[in-house]
Structures are given as structure tokens and as C-alpha cells.
Structure 1
Amino acid sequence: MPLLSESSSSQLSILYCIGVGLYNAFLHPLRYIPGPKLAAASRLIWAKHQRNGTLSKYVTQLHEKYGEVVRLAPNEVSFTSGETAWQDIYGLRVGKCDHGAYLKDPNWFPLPPNGVNSIIGANEADHARMRRLVSHAFSEKALRSQEYIIQLYVDLLVQRLHEQIHGNTIGVVDMVKWYNFTTFDVIADLTFGESFHCLRDKTYHPWVSMAFQTIKSYGFISMKRYFPIWAQIVKLLEPKAALRLRREFFRFVDSKVAWRMSMETTRPDFMGFIMRHQDEKGMTVKEIESSLNSFMVAGSETSATMLSGTTMMLIQHPDKMRRLVDEIRSHFGKHSDITLEEVFKLPYLDAVFREGLRMYPPVPTGFARVVPPGGDQISGYWIPGQTSVYVSQFPANHSSRNFTEPNSFIPERWLGEDARFTGDKFSVWNPFSFGPRNCIGKNLAAAEIRLVLSKVFWNFDMELGT
């Protein structure tokens, strides 16, 4: 029996790819969802933007052109219709259980190096079991007991900033760096009982640099899952150092978990609460390692990015900054008066916090879920089973369909003072996700960000450096 030549095989492969692309674009069950046909035909355009770091910008442009529902890839649909999509995808609603659970898309949540899912990537049953235990570490009561730890590092941040001015009234400081020093020190101390000492040493700890590289590696892991046949090609494109450092960072977390578990202390850090409430239905050591690794990444760089972006926007809008500074300095007579309880009483600070997260959401794309096998209705569209769906946060927050002057930093929109913003769809704003699997650390993040902004702007006047 004659064998196909290499030329014939190549031609058949090309014809097959063309056929699959035509099917995806014109015959697939998602063919009626708005979006560019090239994106519907193949995931290659998505992969290009994922590789270049332009995915959220690209998705934003598509939503402005095609509307609130856009097909981004053959089996992926993005929503900015937050008023309905958050509830339909992530929430609990009548009839939803008839279709089955919207499980997390495994392509978006790679397994940790130890092969065991964290609380973030766990299935529904494991997530409920882990959350029951971990929730003690993130409760209001726990936050009150952890305040002295957070205050310690925010005060050290202020001290270091004063030192950077060298006794003069004016100094140039890289706030992005100092915000990262602070958030990494706070989350490390709360996670392991010991900080990275970035603020003390005035430099990044080597393991913090690893954390940055760990974040970079996630996109390539997803690409390999989406293109298993081309995995070797993707492997050539991925940053080898990032993947190596991801494994090293996880080994570091393992060692810190083992060290903390060996300590006999009632300290109110995450491990203290987990160990105190651990029982036969608790978490395995590997689950703890994976989850604390996730907390380290999720609770550090994201907060620093929001602080950096919000500070920049305030400096670029002197009237907004002056209003915030006046509120903070009139409410607090001295630096030591600034407490977690008090910072939550400041309405304009709350508006700045919300507007900052609208402009700079922690996850700019979305939290991908898989539609259950029978399919379901999302924002008025029937979406077939096994489709990856999510609310794209950056596009939703910057959509002219959801917010007036969406690309402008206007904290006043959250105060109800200006009639221009009465039509804004504030229910779209869910920076910490929505439903029973929303971010467990949202109260900690809200407290830390408010405290940092309050103490920094109580102590310093700012303008953009040259």
C-alpha cells in the first residue's frame, strides 16, 4: 500500500487546518456570537496577544467594536455585561444547579509544581473544604489581630520614604519599588511568620524576583495546554528562566511552610489559624503549600500595582489628590491615629479605592469558567457546554456601555454627588470576583491599600518626578 509523501502529508495538514478554521468560523455552535472571524477560526491571534502582553488591550478594543459579548477564540467567550454575566457565570441563581457547576477552566489554572491544586484551582468539593479552614485566617476578627503586623510594615515604608528625602523637603522616589517592598513584606509575614525584609534591606529579596518571574510563566503554561501539538514550538518561545524560577520559588515556599509548621506559637498569621483549626477534614501539607504559594503571588504584586496606578492617577489629577489629602489630614491629628478602623470611615478614600480598582483591576482579563455539558444561558445568549467563559474586568471597567468617561480617573462617580454618573453600572465592579469562590483575601487587600494610601498621603505631598 503506497505511503503518502511528505509533500502530500503537509498538504493534507494544511487542508485540515483550513477545514477546522472554516468550521469554527461558520458552522460551530458559537458562530452567532459577535467577534472577528479570524479569532473564531483559530486561537493563534489570542496566543499572539497573550505572548506580547497585550491581551487585555486587545479584548477591550474588541468589546468596544462588537459589544458586550465577544468570541475571542474558537471555544472562548468574553462578557462585559457585568450586571447579568457575573451572576450567570459565578453566582448562585434559581435553575443554575439544573445545568451543573461552572468549574474553573484548567487551562487558566495550571497545577502547582507539587501536582496538588491550591484553594484557587481546586474542584468544588475540595474548595469548600479548604475554604472552611482557611476562612478563619481572613475573617474580620483575624484582620483585627493582624493589624499590628500590617502597621509595622506601613510605618517602615513611611520611615524609609523620609530617609530617601535625605532630610530635604524634596526627593525623587520610585514608588512602584517601595510599594512592592511593602506588600511583599506584609504578605510574607502574614503567610509564613517572617517577612522578606525588603523594606529593611531596601532591595528586592531574591525570592521576590522569583515571584515576578512566576507570574510571567503562567501565560506560557496555558499556551502549551491550548496547543499540545505545537508544545515544542511554544517551549522554544517561553522564557526558560521564568519556568525554572517558578519551580525554585515553590521549593522556597515548601521550606518556609515546613519551618512555620515546626514553630510552637499562637501568632495570628495564616499558618497559625490553619494549624489551630486543622482537623481530619482539613488540608493536606501539599494543599497548604500550594495555597500559601497562591496567597504569596495573589496578595503582593496585585496590591502594589493598584497602589502604584492609583498614586500615579492622583498625581496626574491634583484636584483629586488635594481632596484626598485634605480628608486624610483633617481626620487624623497625628500619624499614630491612622488605624484600620478609622480609614474605613473616610468616604473619599473609599471612592479613590474603588476608582483605583476600576482602573487597575487585579485580574485584567477574567476568571475563566467552563459552561456545564448541557449548555446554559448567559446574558441572554445560549452558550454550549464546555465553552470557556468569563467577565473581562479591564474591558468591562473601561467600557463606555458601563461607565461615563470610562478612561478617566473620577472618584466622585462613587459618591453620588454628580448626576453625570447616575447611569453608571456599578454592579459591573467586582475586582475580587463574585459568588462563593470570590477572593478570600479581599478584606485584607482593602485594609492594606487604604492604610498605605492614608499614611503615605498624610506624610507626603507628591508630584511626578523628572
Structure 2
Amino acid sequence: MLFNPTSALALLLSSVLFYTVVRVIYNIVLHPLAKYDGPLSWRALRFPFVKTMVSGDLPHRIKRLHEQYGPIVRVAPDELSFTDPAAWRDIYPQNFLRPREYKDKPPGKAAENLISASEPDHGRFRKILAPAFSEKSVYEQEAMTKGHIDLLIRKLHQTIDTDPSKNAAVVDVLQWFNYATFDVIGDFIWGSSFKCLDQVQSHPWIQIIAQFKVALIVGAFKFYPPLDAILTFITPKSAMADLWMIWKTTEDKISERLTRSKGRKDVMSYMIAANKASSEYYISRDEMEINSMLLVAAGSESVTTALLGATHYLLREPAKLQILVREVRTTYPEEDDITGVSLNSLPYLNAVLQEALRLCPTIPDGMRREIPKGGAAVAGHFLPEGTVVSIPQWATYQSPSNYYKPAFFIPERWLVEASDASSLYRNDRKDAFNPFSIGPHNCPGRTLAYLEMRLILAKMVWHFDMEIPKGMDLPRWEQQEIFWFWDKEPTKVKISNAR
């Protein structure tokens, strides 16, 4: 009997269709998560989730789903999303592992990193990095941090001075915040900055958000292993050019740093010291490269997001901006008095930053984890092993069940004592707010981020009067696409010398 390709293809397609129909029926009716609500198509197949993810709309869509279905939504056949604050401590401190699809290794590097690592390797990395990100170490680098921020301020003054009016200038604060945060984090990690502020010029690294778009697409294919395997072979080298440039910069930074034996401590100092002190906590050259790259990307992007978000909402609420201006300028008659430690005690400044992190979370999506063998309870619901769970920060912080008037910029909500029964914000769920996550996989850079945010925002309002330029408007923050991080749009601000 002769082989008939047409009949074989028809049989294959029929088999795939039959399997898909059976799987859809199982997912909707018989799956252990069948009792949890969500859109029918999302409960039936993973594809709607994946399609929304690569379009940059996933956190927005999940927010709308929670508004429709409540605090628990089934967003895929095997995945639940929670906005109940109780889920924070049930998921993240328990050391649930990242699902396979989210344990990514960037192309070109086989070494483990803070995201892809096994628990023993992750613990090793955190043990090495913890001293570098301690409060003591971060404040030892305050002079370096202030040096870059003071350069930011000088460059902005020069921009005003070179403007034809000599009184004011319109600047893109997204660009300037990017310059400053990249320079700080580069110096913090490697002991040398990107010199963006010196040259008033973007470094190609700043375009890293484009790489997160690519990473999401690559991650989407991981839900379909046969396609994932094919992708490796069909991706043209030209599509990876920007990533190779980032790797080359990282390799050069590491090489240059390893030749220096003296100077101010940086994160590399602790990596080098670990290799000299203990084979148990040895970190390889490739591991240095990939982990420092991730720290630079996350450290710069998160601070830029918070600063841009704070500036955005302050400009839309001039009365609140003036409260902050008065607090900073009356507290500090002289600029030299502005220090990281003293800024900790400015209530309105810190409330503004808290509210900015709530409305503009640096990671708007959920950090997904997988229920371990034997199952576990999350927010009072016992879930079977293999279930993927997360708390989407954007949806959680925008939920009326967690915050009064959640879409409004109200720094005052963070100034209210829980015992104040007369406050409109007395029922706000402060335990829902964990912008740097919690548990062993939380962000190690929290102290550095707050030091940068406080110093930059305080010095901006001390030096400059800011307003929305006439005839222009700010981007609608809540309409920006999200590719793991916010795909932030240019933000033009009129600045003028305050002194």
C-alpha cells in the first residue's frame, strides 16, 4: 500500500483537533481549577493569555478581569491570579518556584542567574550579593550617588541657561532620569558609569526595554515546546544585534573591573571577595556577567519608573506638588543639608514615593510561582500541585477592595495612622502593598532604590519649579503598554530656576 501524504496530513490534523477538543472540555469541566471563574476562552486554553502578553496588554487585561470576576481569577487552564493581600505571604515567603516558562536564560549565556537559578544557586547568589545591598553598604556609596545626581542638576541648569529665554526650558524628564539612574547603577555595580550625563547622550543599554519585548515573545514560545525548539533555529542573527551589544558592554565592564584592585567598593568587590574567601560561594565569570546585567537593567528601570510616575502625578496635581516643594525647601535652607538619612524623615516626600509606586508599580505584572508537590493553601484556598499563582501588582493596587479611590493620586493615604477612625483611608490595605516583593526572591535593591528616589526627587523640587508646558500634555500613564516593565513614553516638562 502506497503512502498517501494527503491522508497522513488529514489524519494528523484530525488527531490534533480531537486532542484539542478533549483538552478544552477537560479544562472547562473536569480540571481541578474548574470551580474558579474567568473568561471561558482563558479557562479553556493558554493561547488568549499568551496573545495578550505579547501585545503589551496583559497586566491591563488582568486588572479588568479582576474588576469583573473578583479577587481570584482563572487566567489560564492551570493559573490563578489573586488580588487578596493574604496571598502575598502564602506565595512568596514559602519559596514556591518559578514555573519553567519564566526561568529564562538570555540567548548567548548558559550560566545561571537570579531568575533562572535553582534554589541552591539562587541562595548562593543572594549570599554573595547581600552585603553589597545592605543598608550600611548602600549608604557608604551615597557620595557616589549624590555625585551623579548633582551632575544631573547641573546639566539641567545648563539646559535652562542655553535656552533662548534664559529663564526656563522644556525637557524630557524620562530621558534625564534614565541618564541618571543608568549612571548610578553602573557605578554601583562595576565602579564605572555609562557617562550618559557627562555626554548628555543615551547609551544603547537604555534601549533595553526593547529586549524585554523580545524576551516576552521568546517566553511565549516556551508554552509550546515544539515551537520553542524551532525558534532557536529560525531567529536571524540581525534580530539579536542589540542583545549582543549589551553582552559586549557587560563583558568589557567586567574585564575592566577585574583589572582594578583598588578603589571604592562596588558590587563586584563583593563577588571578587567571595571567590577569594570561600569555594562554597564561588561565582563564575559568566555568572558575574549575567547577574550584573540583570541588576543594571532592573536597578535603572525601577527607579526611573518610580521617579517618572511621581513627577507625572505631581504635575497633574499642582497643589500636591506645592506641598512637597514647601516641605523640601523649608526643611533644607542649604542644599548641602540634603542627605539620604535626613530625607528618610520627610513625611510628604516619602508618601509621594509610596503613592507613585502604588500607581506606577515597577513590575505591574505578577511574579508567577508554582504550587509545589502535595499542594498548598493560598488566601484560604487549597490548590493542587502545579497550579501557577501570582499577585499582579497593577491590579492589586487598583482594586477598590484594597484602596479607597484607587485610581487617584493621594499621598495623604500613607500619612494616616491605622487608629484614625475618621480618615477616609482607614480601611486601605497597606499589607497589599509590596512593591519590592517579599520572601527570599524579593528585590535586593530596595535600599538603593529609595536612596536614589529620595535624593533625585528632593533635589529636583529644591532646584526647579516644574509645570506642564503650555500647549502640551503628559502621556496617559495608565494607557502605556507593559512588556514586563512599563513601555514609558517621553514626558515633556517645563523647568525653571527656583533660586
TM-score norm. by structure 2 comes to 0.87
Map of 2:91 onto structure 1: 89
Report the Cα distance in structure 2 between the residues aligned to 1:68 and 1:252, rounded to whole angstroms.
44
Report the Cα distance in structure 2 between the residues aligned to 1:206 and 1:377, rounded to whole angstroms.
45
Map of 1:274 onto structure 2: 271
1:104 shift after superposition: 1.8
Counterpart secondary structure, 1:203: coil
Match of 1:110 among 104, 107, 113: 104
Where do 1:292-307 residues align within 5 Å?
292-307=292-307
Match of 1:75 among 68, 75, 78: 78
Amino acid in the other structure paired with 2:171: V
Where do 1:239-318 residues align within 5 Å?
243-278=240-275, 279-282=278-281, 283-318=283-318
Write out the 4+ residue segments of structure 1 that deviate beyond 6 Å after TM superposition: 232-240
Report the Cα distance in structure 2 between the residues aligned to 1:405 and 1:236, rounded to whole angstroms.
50
Map of 2:479 onto structure 1: none
Counterpart secondary structure, 1:171: strand
Q: Deviations over 1:127-161 (max 9, x none)?
A: 22221111111111111211111101111111111
Cα distance change of structure 1 residues 41 and 190 upon mapping to structure 2, 3 Å threshold = same
Where do 1:316-355 residues align within 5 Å?
316-355=316-355
Map of 1:98 onto structure 2: none
User: 1:145 aligned to 2:140?
Assistant: yes
- Using the aligned pairs only, state the percent identity: 35
Map of 1:421 onto structure 2: 425
My pick for the range that moved more, 397-406 or 109-118, is 109-118
Where does the alignment leave 5 or more consecutive residues of structure 2 unmatched?
473-499
Contact 1:303-1:445 at 8 Å conserved across structures? yes
1:171 shift after superposition: 1.4
Contact 1:137-1:270 at 8 Å conserved across structures? yes
Amino acid in the other structure paired with 2:255: A
Contact 2:104-2:115 at 8 Å conserved across structures? no
Cα distance change of structure 1 residues 196 and 130 upon mapping to structure 2, 3 Å threshold = same
Contact 1:366-1:390 at 8 Å conserved across structures? yes
Contact 1:214-1:242 at 8 Å conserved across structures? no
Map of 2:44 onto structure 1: 41
Contact 2:178-2:206 at 8 Å conserved across structures? no
Cα distance change of structure 1 residues 6 and 274 upon mapping to structure 2, 3 Å threshold = closer
User: 1:222 aligned to 2:219?
Assistant: yes
Where do 1:50-69 residues align within 5 Å?
50-69=53-72
User: 1:204 aligned to 2:202?
Assistant: yes
Report the Cα distance in structure 1 between the residues aligned to 2:231 and 2:76, rounded to whole angstroms.
18
Map of 1:187 onto structure 2: 185
Amino acid in the other structure paired with 1:327: E
Contact 1:39-1:46 at 8 Å conserved across structures? yes
Report the Cα distance in structure 2 between the residues aligned to 1:327 and 1:399, rounded to whole angstroms.
30
1:233 shift after superposition: 8.7
Q: Deviations over 1:219-263 (max 9, x none)?
A: 112111112234489789999766442243123212211221121
Where does the alignment leave 5 or more consecutive residues of structure 1 unmatched?
93-100
Cα distance change of structure 1 residues 446 and 69 upon mapping to structure 2, 3 Å threshold = same
Cα distance change of structure 1 residues 243 and 175 upon mapping to structure 2, 3 Å threshold = same
Cα distance change of structure 1 residues 309 and 235 upon mapping to structure 2, 3 Å threshold = farther
Aligned residues: 456
Map of 2:20 onto structure 1: 17
Contact 1:217-1:243 at 8 Å conserved across structures? no
Q: Deviations over 1:370-392 (max 9, x none)?
A: 11021111112221111211111
Where do 1:425-436 residues align within 5 Å?
425-436=429-440
Report the Cα distance in structure 1 between the residues aligned to 2:8 and 2:213, rounded to whole angstroms.
41
Contact 1:315-1:464 at 8 Å conserved across structures? yes
Contact 1:213-1:242 at 8 Å conserved across structures? no
Counterpart secondary structure, 1:173: strand
Contact 2:218-2:228 at 8 Å conserved across structures? no
Report the Cα distance in structure 2 between the residues aligned to 1:412 and 1:437, rounded to whole angstroms.
30
Report the Cα distance in structure 2 between the residues aligned to 1:166 and 1:235, rounded to whole angstroms.
52
Amino acid in the other structure paired with 1:280: S
Amino acid in the other structure paired with 1:91: P
Amino acid in the other structure paired with 1:205: H
Amino acid in the other structure paired with 1:14: L
Map of 1:392 onto structure 2: 392
TM-score norm. by structure 1 comes to 0.93
Report the Cα distance in structure 1 between the residues aligned to 2:235 and 2:383, rounded to whole angstroms.
33
Cα distance change of structure 1 residues 215 and 372 upon mapping to structure 2, 3 Å threshold = same
- Cα RMSD of the aligned pairs, angstroms, is 2.1
Contact 1:396-1:428 at 8 Å conserved across structures? yes
